[in-house]
Amino acid sequence: MKSAILIESNKPLVIADIDLPKKIDFGQVLVRVCYSGLCGAQINEIEAVKGKDKFLPHLLGHEGSGVVEKIGDGVTTVKPGDHVVLHWRKSSGMQSFTPKYSWNGKQVNAGWVTTFNEKTVVSENRLTVIPKDFSLRTAALFGCVITSGFGAVNNDAKVKIGQSVLIFGIGGMGLSIACAASLVSAFPIVGVDIHKDKIEMGKEFGLTHGIESNSSNIKEKIKDIFGNKGPDIIFETTGNSKVMEQAYETTPNDGKTIFVGVPDKKISIYSLPLAFDKILEVSHGGNSIPDKDIPRYIRLIKNKKINLEKLITHEFDLSEINKAIDLFRSGKAGRIILRISKEN
Ligand SMILES: NC(=O)c1ccc[n+]([C@@H]2O[C@H](COP(=O)([O-])OP(=O)(O)OC[C@H]3O[C@@H](n4cnc5c(N)ncnc54)[C@H](O)[C@@H]3O)[C@@H](O)[C@H]2O)c1
Ligand SMILES: [Zn+2]
């Protein structure tokens, strides 16, 4: 079965045929993956930003959709034939041991969920069943970008109607956050990005204003829009340590900073205001509970209250994954979708 394997940090992924584990164990589910999103988290994994990678060689990918083929003992929440979202946050069902694949007689490691492989062995609690008439292509985005972005707004920041929002980085996460902020009637919703096109795209997702981050007078531009009080809530999604510091500093002493981006380096902040009214939160998938959240979002999409399919700007086959990664790194894409295997 075709897979993309990370063999060495900071190197292109290797596309190879690998063997599935011999047995689908207790709490495990075999899924044929149809679509996978590409998230900043995989770029971080490839670049080992969290430190030396102890699991090499390993599989990757944490937002996907597919069809259940087989279930292990004890599994009760999904059955063969079900359409499912593959997500990295925990949900109902059991947590299994992680699977071990093999390639030319060598072990290939994997976490509880991977999506850059045609067939995947997933822990039951990383799957959520969706209706069969819902687009599997859009459903892949529930694995992370939508649930994390919407959760960051609802659960981490708890944005209230009419609060003002500033978002650094208008990639997949920034767009998802803009959409959720608009759903809760935040105003204004301002996006900062180095790419003008991303800001334009953000306007389709609810941005009311945009600032190009290479403009020299960015502080003044923020002040022009938010006045002396500044934004109520700032989301940081670039993961650039300097931008994270800037996001925290720009937050007023009674405001909230939500760090969504994963830092590329250590950051330095003045912590005293946190002892008073300033709040700093680090988002962990927006504290989303996928099997509770996904049905709500599907209802909105089905009733045309939101269109999240337009988050997808590019599509590639699994065999073209390194091309997709290069495009992702350019910062020019919205969400990139990988076609992993045919829907039927
Ligand atoms: N906390 C979580 O649970 C969680 C969940 C998903 C992703 N993430 C992290 O969020 C970050 C973003 O992920 P993504 O998938 O949206 O990535 P992305 O590449 O799609 O988006 C990043 C955006 O930031 C912009 N950008 C980069 N440098 C900038 C700068 N200096 N100033 C302004 N804009 C800049 C890029 O142009 C791009 O539009 C990553 O670090 C990822 O690991 C965290
Ligand atoms: Zn992700």
pLDDT in tens, 68-77: 999 999 999 9
Q: Is residue 297, in this structure, part of any structural domain at all?
A: no
Q: Which ligand is located closest to the Cα atom of residue 88?
A: 2
In angstroms, the CA 26 to CA 22 distance is: 13
Q: How far is the CA of 237 from the centre of ligand 1 (A)?
A: 4
Percent of the chain with pLDDT over 90: 95
Strands (E) in 131-262, as ranges, are: 165-168, 189-193, 209-212, 233-236, 256-259
| Protein residues within 5 Å, CB atom, of ion ligand 2 | 39, 41, 144
Q: How far is the CA of 239 from the centre of ligand 1 (A)?
A: 6
330 and 203: one domain?
A: no
101 and 224: one domain?
A: no
How do 312-317 and 209-212 pair as beta strands? unpaired
Residue 162 belongs to domain spanning = 145-286
Q: Is residue 302, in this structure, part of any structural domain at all?
A: no
CATH number for the domain spanning 52: value is 3.90.180.10
Give, for ligand 1, the residue of 168, 260, 281, 312 to mutate: max count of ligand atoms closer than 8 Å to Cβ: 260
Token digits of residue 253: 């002493």
The protein residue whose alpha carbon is closest to atom 42 in ligand 1 is 40
Has residue 215 got a pLDDT over 90? no
Tens of pLDDT, residue by residue over 230-288, are 999 999 999 999 999 999 999 999 999 999 999 989 999 999 999 999 999 999 999 99
| Amino acid identity at 190 | V
258 and 323: one domain?
A: no
Q: How far is the CA of 222 from the centre of ligand 2 (A)?
A: 28
Q: Is residue 164, in this structure, part of any structural domain at all?
A: yes
139 and 175: one domain?
A: no
86 and 198: one domain?
A: no
154 and 248: one domain?
A: yes
Q: Is residue 19, in this structure, part of any structural domain at all?
A: yes
| Least confident residue range of 65-79, 180-194, 203-217, 220-234 | 203-217
- Is the whole-model pTM more than 0.85? yes
46 and 112: one domain?
A: yes
Q: Is residue 295, in this structure, part of any structural domain at all?
A: no
CATH number for the domain spanning 260: value is 3.40.50.720
Q: Is residue 14, in this structure, part of any structural domain at all?
A: yes
Q: Is residue 165, in this structure, part of any structural domain at all?
A: yes
211 and 150: one domain?
A: yes
79 and 198: one domain?
A: no
Q: Which ligand is located closest to the Cα atom of residue 246?
A: 1
Q: Residues 6 or more apart from 201 whose CB is under 8 A from it?
A: 170, 175, 313, 334
Count of domains observed in the chain:
2
119 and 106: one domain?
A: yes
Cβ < 6 Å from ligand 1: which residues? Answer: 39-41, 44, 144, 148, 168-174, 192-195, 198, 213, 237-240, 243, 260-262, 283-285, 331
The protein residue whose alpha carbon is closest to atom 38 in ligand 1 is 171
